[in-house]
Every structure is written in structure tokens, then in C-alpha cells.
Chain A
């Protein structure tokens, strides 16, 4: 029975508060491909099915084995009802995962990925993202080539003993809504726009009565004192610690005093003093955004240009024109001690300016689209304006580049190895193990550790962990599969929703020490 809209909103309530209805819509339109329903694979998919992706397809040619049952959460639940060891893993996993959420449609293909690549490589083009788990190096490279050409993001995952590994391959992933954790406010106090200036002018602190004075928003207080400071300091704002301290003291002197000389309790002034540092932050375009403005895609807009770059170019045009060198005003202010009317009025000044700026950006988008003869359906320019400081583009190299002798990132590898605790050693281990498998069609036991390392032509002092690695014998313990399952699923959600920023490009988790590292290889 299909869920009603209301019950879906209830079911997904806790996650809608993170990525909104539009984020949920993008999830529900997504079709994810999982290659290999191992413990790790099914854990990843479980964390995508629960939040309600549209559809998944499992590609797996393996049959269920006793070992699978030992580790694989979902197979256990299913196997007990039926005689085991007789089923295709893909089918078993699909049916079980389907049970977790009736909103999701599940499919499976009982075929090895290599066979599919031989007979029908375009098969993978239909997916929003392909997640490949416990795949040998050769298969990964074949998929890499096909998916790179088709511009389908590819997420490679491996659990090997107590080590987890993820590698994201995506040519270009743009993010408008990155939702940064600790964003600085956009107050424009160093260069107030006309409407803000007028609003500040409308206040006369000296002539206010006691109640109004102590309920004036701190933004106004800082602005007023800054005006005076600038006129007395050759238009130079406070820059170093000493000057900022003096500025704080200057504001403190603005606190009204009782008849006996004791200062009144004016919390709004205390807030102003506390916020001096952030208030004095110069308004400027972040370097991440400047880099985007300077890139070729932004400056060379054609009918082939993806929507994101057209919109980015519009923001750049805005900055060069109406913005006078600044991005669109964000339009939000933090809560602060003030009476309702003063706060709302001040908030509206920022809000209206943000809407104005967004409209200007929208006009630039129109012009650009006209000039290249294109149409973009969902432009959401207000969202663009609000997030203009936080725009990000993530580019993760292809596996071919990572593996090729000519383009391997030697610098990153050797500099990481300077640190004895670096997780880089596990990356090298995994590569050695892969190479060993390539040559011997099995995973290394203890004795083969030296052979494994020599295969990748890396000079290394034998790390004691080598022995551990070989003892694992490619085991896939459940807790590591679960950790990776959560991590990979969230990265997939980021790719699908274009919200929050994906990692770039290799993630290694060490369950022994409960540490992790992100490497760019």
C-alpha cells in the first residue's frame, strides 16, 4: 500500500529537517546501483533504502554461502526462513532490503559486473550513482572507464579486516547548498549598502529613552560607534588587537549611567562588545568562490555549459556590477537582544536587500540563457544568492589517473609516509593485496606479504601491520562493514541531493585505532 503524503512526511520527518523537501525529492528520483551484496554492500544499501531512495538495482553473480550468512545482516534474516546455500545473493539481498521500506523499488541482476561490461556496458549509464563493493582492481578500472565517460559518479568501497576504504570518482560535482557548520554572518558593517545606511541613520542613540536604548540591536550599536570611529581615525576601521580593544572600550562608554555613575544593565551593549570581532570582518568574496569565478567553465559559457556554471557566471556578473565587488547579500541576521519591532525592522532591511540582489542575479541568468539559447527549469535564484559564499565544486580524479605510473600522486604518498601513524600505509596494503589477487586469484596469507608489496614496486620498510593485514584473509567483519555502510551511504546521498560536501577522494578507516584519514590520490 502506497504511503500517503502525510505519513511519508511523518516517517521522514527527522531527515527532512536536514535536507528539506527538495532534498527528499532528489533522493526519491534517484536510482542507485550496488555491485556485490556483501555485508558492506547491504549495509550501504540499507542506509539508502531507509531514507527512501527511489530505486536500487543490485548486480551480483554470487550465490549465498555460509560465510555470507555469518556476516551479512540481511541474509541472516532471510535465510532462516528458507533453505540456505541455494540462492543468488542479489535476489536474497533485494528481497530483504525491499522489506525495509515499501516506498523503494528494488531490482537485481544475477550477473557479474565483468559480464555486463562485456555484453552491455551502457547498462550502467542509467544510474544516478554506482557503488562497487569488494571489487578486484581490474573490474574497478573497467567500471571507472565506462562511468567516467558516461559522467556517472562511482563510489568504490572495501572492508578488509579492520580496515575500511572508500574512493569517490566524479568528474565534477557542484554544490549550492553546502550547509557549512560555522559560517560567518554577512552583516556588511564595513560597507553598509544604502538601505542599511539609511536605517542606521534613523537611530539617534543619544536622544532615546532608557527602554529603547537598552533594546536597540547590537548591529546598530556597532554601526553607530563605527561611524564615529571612522571619522576620528581617518576612515580606518580598527584592525589589530589593540585597536579592537579600544573600540570595545569605546562602545562600553556608550552604556548609559545611573545617577550615581554606575553603568546601567544594558545587555545589548554587552552583546555588541562581544561581537566586535565578527562584526568587523571585512566583506569579501571567499577564495573558494574567487577560484570558481576564475575557472574556464564560468567564463566560457556556451549552450553545452551545465546549469550550475551558468548560475555561477550570473553571480559573477552580479558581483562585477550591482554588487560592487561583493556577493549578493545573504539576508539573515542572528537573534539578538532587542524589542520586536526594532529587530524585525532591521531583519527586513537585510531580507529585502537579499531579495533585490537575488532578483538581479536572476536577470543575469535570463540574459545568459538567452545568449546561449537555453532554458533551465529549476533555478532557485534566492537559494543561490543566500548560498553564494558557500558554493563548492568537487572534482575527484579517475581511478585510471590514480593508478597510472605517469600520474600517480607520488608526493601525497611519500609525504604521508613521513608520519608513522598515517593511514596511508593501509592504502598501500590494499593496493598490494589487490595486485596479489590479480596475479594469484586469491587473497594473501601470512607468508605472501613480501610478494604482495613487491608487486606495486614500492620501497617500504615492512610495517608490522602487514602481518595483520594478511591474517585478515579478506574477512569482512560486521562492525567495519557497518561503519563503512553509514559513511558510504551518506556520501551517496550528498552526490544525489547536491547538498553537503562529498569527500575528495579517498577515505580510510582504521577500526583498530578508531582513526580515519582522507587522502587525495
Chain B
């Protein structure tokens, strides 16, 4: 058995009363997650494991792909196809004594509050803002307030990292205390989606041709029967590539390649080992600081870019007073009573601080729960669609009415208060 060598720059004897560093670390359970095929190898339980952490849960819904191997170093060619969480756990458990990694081949949304409540710290290397917001919302829902005062023992710190090519960021969120993910939604650039009219009738770039094949031709031609387009299937990509080339030839557009086709269809973000190592290390450092209280944690956002030299910028992202996720302030909806439900829906999706994806709106009318509009279930969508054209007054809503909105961006419904402007 091998004992770890001396660990850290922390001198236990310096502190009043001293501390048992080993004991401190043993009861820290960490929860790492990484759903999605992402650029993030490095919540490599390895970095945490080597810093002395003993119990780590890993949640990841993805399986290993060949293209992960250029950076995700816990995986080998023989592991391709296996669940990432399981292979990572096996790797660490078999090599680091005393460390237990528990894998969960699941989505983060598959678990509820009873699962997340058990952890001391949560570290994320997620591949989407939606997932981040969901996790953020979950931890906020675990907070308990007594007489309006936050109980600090209900806070579970969230350490979040992300990378894109040579850029990355790491942040520390203390739910209820510091800026949360939703407080800084405007920091994230909006996703690029080409307008339909460009794709359908006025392509200019090779990307437009690829999207044409993916969005319009595939559903029409159904080249592989009823199967939906699978970005990981080379045959599917080849089909899209060929159709895109044909379209490009029609319009004298150059530049359609197989690599570009795959990149557009799968929304691929370039990734390298080095940037991920840097951001993972920064996150691990924060986990360590928080777990040991040895140093002041990052307050609270670090940006990294090594395109030209190496650049870091550290700043304190501010809490938003009326954040829809963490402010506890009921969200205001100001509309004239003659506004249509469609207007409210658009506001929920387009407003920069809300950026909901497909909100479902319900309310209580005459003591009964009524769904005003819901997109995700086809039958309900069809039934409630006519409501979109009705005015708020016609729908029976009154000034001060509470609307409950559910969306993929949050595990809990958000309550809005309707304020009629006329």
C-alpha cells in the first residue's frame, strides 16, 4: 500500500486549536458531473483524488467516443462505447487507494433533491447552459430560510468550469450568497442559428447548405426511413454532406467539406487537452480551498485565454437583485390586458435575463389549475395553441394574477406576477 506524500502548503500547526487535515478531508464527498459529450475531461476525479478527496460521485449520461481520446485521458481506445462515468470510476478506484468513485450513467435531471442534498460540494463540467441552469436551480431549491434569513448549512457550493478551444472559465457559486448562473446569463453569447429564409432560399455560406440538408431535406427525403438524423452516424453525415455539396454547387458556393458538415450538424466545439487541464486545475484548486477553508476561495469568476500569450482575468460577478433563479423576488410581468398570450411567451424566451426554451404556463382560475400553454406534449400543445392568440383579459386573467412557468432551464417552476399596465 502506498501512502501519500506530503500534501500541501497548509501548516496545520498554524491555526488556533490545530486541525486534523486528514479527518477534514475524509468526510468531504464530492459530486462531479459531466453530462453530454463535452470538452471537459477534467473533472477528472483524478485531480481531486490526488488532492486527497476520498468519496466522489460522478454523473455522466454519455459514452466514450474516439474523438474524446485527444484530451480525456482516463479513457483508452478499448473503452470506446462504454459509459464515461463507469470507466472513469474504474480507472481511479483501481489505482488510488482509499478513494471511492461512484459512477452514475445518468442525466443530472434523473436525480432529485434527495440525491443532491447529500453532497458537500458540486463540481460541473457541463456541455450546455441549460444543464448549468438546471443544476443551479436545484441547489437554490435546497436552500432553507428561517424568518427570511438564509441558513448557511443549507448552502452547497457549486464550482463550474467550461472551455471552448483556447478559452475557458471557472467560477464559484455559493447559492443564495454569491452571483448564481442565472444572475450572469448575459455573459453567455447567444447560440448562432441561421434564419430560415436564408437557409431555404438565400444560402451564402457552406453552413447554410449544410443546414438546408439537415433541417429541410432530411425530414422530406427520409433517407434512412423514420430514423432521425444521428450526428454520430458516419452514413448520416455522408448523406448530409453530399446533399449540401449539391446545393452549394447550385449557388456557386465553395467550402462544403465533410469536416465542416460534421461540425455544423453536431454543433462541434473545438477542444484540446491543455485548456481543459488549466480550467480543471483551477476548479480543483477551488474545491480544495473550500473543503479545507485554508485559503479564500475565488471570488468568483475566472476567465482564461491563451490564443496570444496567456491571459487571465478574475472578477466578482454581481448578484442580480431580481434574478429569476436566486433572488426570491417574485418576477414581474408587465403587460397591457389587451396583450396576447403569445406576447408573454415571446418575452419569456427572448428576454436576455430569462432566455427560457419552451416555457409551460399555468395558473389558477376559479380555484382550479389551468394550463394556458404547453409545448412539450403534442396533444396539450394542440389544445392550448388557440390561447396564444387570445388576450390576457379574454383568458380570464386579472391584475396581480400569479403565473407558474416551468421550463428545462430550471428544476422548479418560476412564479410570475402579472401587472396590467392598462
Contact = CB atoms under 8 A, between A and B. Distances in A.
B354 to A, nearest CB: 25
B5 A479 contact: no
Interface in A1-28: 7, 10-18
A490 B9 CA distance: 27
Interface in B66-117: 66-67, 69-71, 73, 76-77, 94-97
Interface in B335-363: none
A340 to B, nearest CB: 4
Interface residues on A, range: 35 or more
B409 interface: no
Contact of B268 (A17, A483, A502): A17
Contact of B6 (A475, A507, A514): A475
Contacts of A493: 274
Given A340-B253, A486-B278, A514-B298, A471 B9 contact: yes
Interface centre among A478, A483, A511 (most CB of B within 10 A): A478
Interface string B309-349: 11010100000000000000000000000000000000000
A483 B305 CA distance: 13
A15 B270 contact: yes
B285 A479 contact: yes
A124 interface: no
B210 interface: no
A489 B67 contact: no
A475 B278 CA distance: 19
A298 to B, nearest CB: 22
Contacts of B273: 46-47, 50-51, 486, 489
Interface stretch (A76-84, A146-154, A309-317, A375-383): A76-84
A70 B51 CA distance: 9
Contact of B307 (A43, A46, A501): A501
A18 B263 CA distance: 12
B272 A18 contact: yes
Contacts of A336: 204
B314 A515 contact: yes
Contacts of B39: 14
B5 A65 contact: yes
Contact of A50 (B7, B71, B275, B295): B71
Contacts of A472: 9
B281 A486 contact: yes
Contacts of B263: 17
Interface in A389-416: none
Nearest to B170: A514
B270 A70 contact: no
A344 interface: yes
B204 A335 contact: yes
A14 B67 contact: yes
Interface in B241-283: 251-253, 259, 262-263, 268-282
Interface string A476-502: 011111110111011101000000111
A97 to B, nearest CB: 10
Nearest to A17: B270
Interface stretch (A177-185, A356-364, A365-373): A177-185
Interface in B46-71: 46-47, 50-51, 66-67, 69-71
A471 B11 contact: yes
B149 interface: no
Interface centre among A179, A481, A483 (most CB of B within 10 A): A483
Contacts of B276: 486
B308 A180 contact: yes
B374 interface: no
A84 B166 CA distance: 37
Contacts of A77: 95
Interface in A22-57: 43, 46-47, 50-52
A39 to B, nearest CB: 8
B50 A73 contact: yes
A340 B203 contact: yes
B202 interface: yes
A161 interface: yes
Given A47-B277, A344-B252, A518-B310, A215 B202 contact: yes
Contact of B310 (A70, A468, A487): A487
A104 B215 CA distance: 41
B151 interface: no
A420 interface: no
Nearest to B300: A514
A343 interface: yes
B231 interface: no
A51 B76 CA distance: 14
A338 interface: yes
Interface centre among A17, A336, A515 (most CB of B within 10 A): A17
13 contacts: A11-B67, A13-B70, A14-B71, A15-B270, A70-B3, A70-B4, A338-B204, A340-B202, A475-B8, A491-B310, A502-B309, A511-B285, A515-B314
Please list the 5 inter-chain residue pairs (A to B) with the smallest Cβ-Cβ separation, ordered nearest first: A70-B5, A486-B277, A67-B5, A482-B281, A486-B278
Given A338-B202, A483-B285, A485-B281, 4 more contacts: A10-B66, A15-B270, A47-B273, A482-B47
